[in-house]
Amino acid sequence: MLNQKVAIVTGGSRGAGKAIAGRLAAEGTKLAIIGSSEQIHESAKELTENGAEVLSIQADVSNEQQVKNAFKQAIDHYGQIDLLVNNAGLGFFKPTEETTLEEWQKVFAVNVQGVFLCTKEILPFMKEKKSGTIITISSDVGRRTIANGAAYTATKYAVQGFIGSVAQEVQEYGIRIGTINPGAIDTYFADSKQGETHKEDWLKVNDIAEAVCYMASAPKHMVVDEIMLHPLSQEYPRI
């Protein structure tokens, strides 16, 4: 169902974004991957060597003009965009009184403004086609709160509100919008290292990639609004 579709994946340089790109490519999806560093081109090279068709674009998702340029480049290159995966994000965890304004603004710029700018940029194209899927990688803390994570948690609550409203705006155009809300993932998040011993029982990046493929592959008459997943070892309040 994803064969010959075209997807934009933000934050595609490493971690979950790279895994998502690889999994989509395995389904025959053509890719435009966006990352803020030159590493995005190395990731694209690896994916290409494995048989994927990939366009790599270095851009900051919190910068409006860079987002506009990146999406124009992708659309001009492929002529179509069927799927947007808003994956780019960052986080830090510390007490609120130790959080600087610069840190607060930076995490909102990437996690919220980035999702807004990328979603806004692709919507006119999808509306014209009357089809398309937008998947945003949020977090389980978009549905609960945690200590020492006020800034990060606030961004994910904002994302949930934004995505929910947009979903209602575009339903009549046949555009499907959903969020994937993972718990603890073994990745590079919050300046950590992937593969650390204490993360052995955490979610893996491929778990997130599988969730993206499941959501994106839903029949056209159906939308998967939200997927919540977390490690069995993680304490999580049940509704």
Which of the following is catalytic: 78, 152, 157, 188?
Answer: 152
Residue 78 falls in the annotated catalytic set: no
Q: Using an 8 Å Cβ cutoff, are 16 and 213 in contact? A: no
Tell me the sheet residues that pair with 32.
8, 55
Alpha carbon distances (Å) from 112 to 45, 177, 204: 29, 16, 24
Alpha helices in the chain (DSSP H): 15-26, 39-49, 64-78, 101-108, 114-129, 150-170, 205-216
Catalytic residues, by residue number, are 152
